[in-house]
Amino acid sequence: MASSPYYLTTPIYYVNDRPHIGHAYTTLACDVLARFHRLDDREVHFLTGTDEHGQKVEKSAILAGKDPQTFTDEVSQNFRNLAGDMNYSNDDFIRTTEERHNQAAQAIWRAIKDNGHIYLDSYAGWYSVRDEAFYAESELTKNEDGQKIAPTGAEVEWVEEPSYFFNLSKWEEPLLEFYEKNPDFIGPESRRNEVVSFVKGGLKDLSISRTSFKWGIPVPDDPDHIMYVWLDALTNYLTAVGYPDTKNPDYLKFWPADLHMVGKDIVRFHAVYWPAFLMAAGLPTPKRIYAHGWLLNKGEKMSKSLGNVLLPEDLVSKYGLDPVRYYLLREVPFGNDGYISHKTMVSRINSDLANDIGNLAQRSLSMIAKNCDGAVPTPGAFTESDEALLSSARNVIDTARNEFNRQAFHRGLEAIWAVVGDSNRYVDAQAPWELRKTDPDRMATVLYVLAETIRHLGILIQPIMPDAAAQLLNQLSVGVDARTFIHLGPGHALTAGAPLPKPAPVFPRYIDEEVPI
């Protein structure tokens, strides 16, 4: 299948802090999609990285007693290391302090300016350093201490300084037209509606430069100003494919991006400002922005300021990497906010993984090892129930593809687990342990059907649980070049008589030693 290239990105992470599971979640979702599309034979470019400029990072560096460059070098490395901890398969890791990015950010500024969409004025208004965002007086409320706060809860400060402006107000109509023509541009639907009504409510010109601090990319031809960190940061998606060289093979192949995955807190920057900047620069706009919800711990969005962060490395060492990857994308319907907890984690590990797929594989493969000379059994003619199970295993890829393409990971997994459920019911109904004495040929057919179904499941779960899937497929002696989705289709099956290694359990139970309170 000759398929089109696929470019997907995570947000680049602020380096004011070490990564927590909320950060890991966004990149995990992208990793699963990247792996999924590669298995579908697409050339994937999967980008993540760090957002290193601006007042927020500068303040954190000062607080840490370090110069911003040393500070960002250190913190950025923690995000880079996350790829190892979480088994991400990103193709690039960008830092906004790299020279390639400096070039790209200045080039997009020039393009927007040359097209007449930037003017010099002065800004007087509210700014939140935590959000790196400007707010209108009407959006603010007060906290318990009487301090003005943004709708996100972040404190704001009054800023008055010379500033360049982007004529965002002129882009109201073009944006609304663009959303209308591209109904899939923003997902899920609820976010799309929010964005459309925000734009319909009227857009104000946007301040896009600052003069009161220095940690950023200088404005071309006016280095007293540095670029607003969001214009700088958003441009990373272009930098990574070679912009400003629009003849670069990566730019030609991958731009416009297929998907910018973001959390719902930053949808406005991606779905309003970013397409407006690109249109103003005369560049193509991305195909889709998907805004997922928040992972909540103890009832609130996980964040350092609330003191409720869970660290990816702690969860992985406690529960294992693949179980954590599965849990995060299965437990919380993607797009919604959702709670994560020890209790639901243990329940998913022990029921979906150990009991359902683990037990299915373990009992089937052990019976094959004991009763079929440790080789793929030789099947006889298939019955209707054999055909029914095999066809549900073959066909589930269509559902998974549809669901993953609209970022409904939980639904895709539900469909795959429906096949696991069918398989377990099939084992119970066929009772191969009884056939061993009464009808060994039929037992061989049943075990073959099970092995084939497990091969399909192993291929399908690779994007979510790459290591566990590899172990399953190794136990069925499936060659590493026979694991892409094309091998779920006609003409691909296990070869009867092929020797199999000794089976070993792949999905261990979690023994909960914590004493319940």
| Binding-site ranges for ligand MSP (CB under 6 A) | 11-14, 22-23, 25-26, 51, 233-234, 236, 262-263, 265-266, 294-295, 301-302
Question: Rounded to 5 degrees, what are φ and ψ at 222?
Answer: -150, 70
Alpha-carbon span 23 to 453, nearest angstrom: 35
Please, what is the minimum distance in Å from the beta carbon of residue 510 to ligand MSP? 23
Helices (H) and strands (E) in the chain — how many of each?
20, 19
Residue 310 CB contacts under 8 Å (≥ 6 apart), including other chains: 20, 21, 297, 302, 340
Please, what is the minimum distance in Å from the beta carbon of residue 279 to ligand MSP? 17
| 270 vs 456, beta carbon nearer ligand MSP | 270
Residue 134 CB contacts under 8 Å (≥ 6 apart), including other chains: 123, 125, 126, 127, 206, 207
Alpha-carbon span 155 to 443, nearest angstrom: 68
Please, what is the minimum distance in Å from the beta carbon of residue 229 to ligand MSP? 8
| 210 vs 301, beta carbon nearer ligand MSP | 301
Region for 163 from its dihedrals, namely left if φ exceeds 0, alpha if ψ lies in -120 to 50, beta otherwise: beta
| 53 vs 483, beta carbon nearer ligand MSP | 53
Residue 314 CB contacts under 8 Å (≥ 6 apart), including other chains: none
Around 157, how many Cα atoms within 13 Å sit in the side-chain half-sphere? 10
| 124 vs 306, beta carbon nearer ligand MSP | 306
CA dihedral for 261, 130, 172, 101, sign (positive or negative): negative
Residue 348 burial (CB count, 10 A):
20
Site of tokens 């056939």: 435
| 55 vs 424, beta carbon nearer ligand MSP | 55
Please, what is the minimum distance in Å from the beta carbon of residue 152 to ligand MSP? 11
Please, what is the minimum distance in Å from the beta carbon of residue 323 to ligand MSP? 19
Q: What is the DSSP string of 144-182?
A: TTS-EE-TTS-B-EEEEEEEEEE-GGGGHHHHHHHHHH-
| 23 vs 225, beta carbon nearer ligand MSP | 23
| 337 vs 434, beta carbon nearer ligand MSP | 337
Question: Which residue's beta carbon is nearest to the bound ligand MSP?
Answer: 263
Please, what is the minimum distance in Å from the beta carbon of residue 253 to ligand MSP? 21
Q: Is 430 helix (H, G, I), strand (E, B) or coil?
A: helix
Around 329, how many Cα atoms within 13 Å sit in the side-chain half-sphere? 27
Please, what is the minimum distance in Å from the beta carbon of residue 363 to ligand MSP? 37
* DSSP state letter for 119: E
| 302 vs 354, beta carbon nearer ligand MSP | 302
> Which residue in 290, 277, 270, 294 sits closest to 191, CA to CA?
290
Please, what is the minimum distance in Å from the beta carbon of residue 25 to ligand MSP? 5
Alpha-carbon span 124 to 127, nearest angstrom: 9
Please, what is the minimum distance in Å from the beta carbon of residue 314 to ligand MSP? 15
Count of all residues that appear for the chain in the document? 517
- Residue 302 corresponds to which amino acid? M
Kindly state the tokens that stand for 457.
Answer: 């499941």
Please, what is the minimum distance in Å from the beta carbon of residue 138 to ligand MSP? 24
| 301 vs 456, beta carbon nearer ligand MSP | 301
| 108 vs 295, beta carbon nearer ligand MSP | 295
